[in-house]
């Protein structure tokens, strides 16, 4: 374990998930504070690359501040930003019907998109607490009329302080089933997110490590991008369900605090 941690610590760039790695909901996880302080004290290049689309980078920075961690908003990149960038490249000045929160809506506005519930180019779904039958019904109608279906990320579930909760793929499933149309998901493990992460860090893949709690997004994203992977057991994955997947992470730690313990 000690040798493995030393190999992780030698990396230049760190791409790190947030939910299940740094916090569950509004609860800071063990070792998170020590890990973030270590990243800064060692002058590591780091980016919090999250599949969550609910909050903007500014809001994420404010959330960490409330939990006692000071991180500049330049260190955050979300699936909402990735989705907005992708759609703007596909359909500049387009429009969307959105089932999601302010972080996603504002990212689309900033990318030049407008909101449209009549004849949008896209139906975009992200995490939301304003999920309703009426909005699903509208989305189904619009997709049937030709709008393309987009998911900010393919996560079925996510961790919270109360336990596991439904995430984007679970929320978008009724629309897929009712229309017969498959959504395109932009977030991890889509290589788009990983390429952006490496560009923002200014690091090569061999000098970078990705840290996450999900085998089906974080770990497979790293494997497919040839980035060393660190699975932490502080989120949705445990030693039993690791065996449900036909691939393995390079390293397995209890939490991100284990990296600092290499001192």
- DSSP labels for 48-62? EEE---SS-HHHHHH
CB 188 within 8 A of CB 116: no
Please pick, among 17, 121, 228, 255, the residue that the annotation labels catalytic: 17
- Based on the residue annotation, tell me whether 19 is a catalytic residue of this protein: yes
CB 94 within 8 A of CB 198: no
d(Cα 150, Cα 182) in Å, to the nearest integer?
Answer: 9
Please pick, among 19, 121, 218, 228, the residue that the annotation labels catalytic: 19
Strand order in the sheet with 122-125: 114-115, 95-99, 122-125, 148-151, 184-185
d(Cα 228, Cα 219) in Å, to the nearest integer?
Answer: 9
Q: Which of 6, 12, 8 is nearest to 207 (CA)?
A: 12
Helix (H) or strand (E) holding 79: helix 79-90
**Catalytic residue list:** 17, 19
């Amino acid at each position: 374990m000690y040798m493995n941690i030393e190999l992780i610590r030698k990396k230049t760039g760190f791409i790190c998930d947030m939910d299940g790695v740094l916090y569950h909901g509004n609860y800071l996880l063990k070792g998170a504070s020590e890990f973030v302080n270590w990243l800064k004290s060692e002058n590591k290049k780091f980016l919090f690359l999250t599949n969550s689309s609910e909050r903007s980078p500014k809001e994420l920075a404010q959330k960490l501040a409330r939990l006692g961690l000071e991180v500049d908003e330049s260190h955050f990149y979300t699936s909402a930003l990735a989705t907005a960038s992708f759609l703007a490249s596909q359909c500049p000045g387009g429009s969307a019907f959105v089932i999601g929160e302010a972080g996603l809506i504002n990212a689309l506005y900033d990318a030049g998109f407008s909101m449209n519930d009549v004849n949008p180019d896209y139906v975009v779904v992200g995490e939301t607490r304003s999920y309703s039958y009426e909005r699903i019904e509208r989305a189904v109608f619009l997709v049937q009329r030709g709008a393309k279906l987009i998911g900010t990320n393919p996560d079925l579930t996510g961790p919270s302080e109360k336990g596991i909760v439904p995430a984007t793929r679970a929320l978008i499933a009724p629309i897929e089933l009712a229309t017969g149309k498959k959504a395109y998901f932009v977030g991890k493990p889509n290589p788009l997110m990983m390429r952006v992460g490496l560009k923002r860090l200014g690091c090569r893949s061999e000098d970078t490590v990705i840290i996450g709690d999900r085998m089906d997004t974080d770990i497979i994203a790293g494997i497919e991008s040839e980035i060393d992977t660190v699975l932490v057991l502080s989120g949705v994955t445990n030693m039993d369900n690791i065996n449900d997947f036909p691939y393995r992470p390079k390293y397995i730690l209890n939490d991100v605090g284990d990296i600092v313990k290499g001192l």
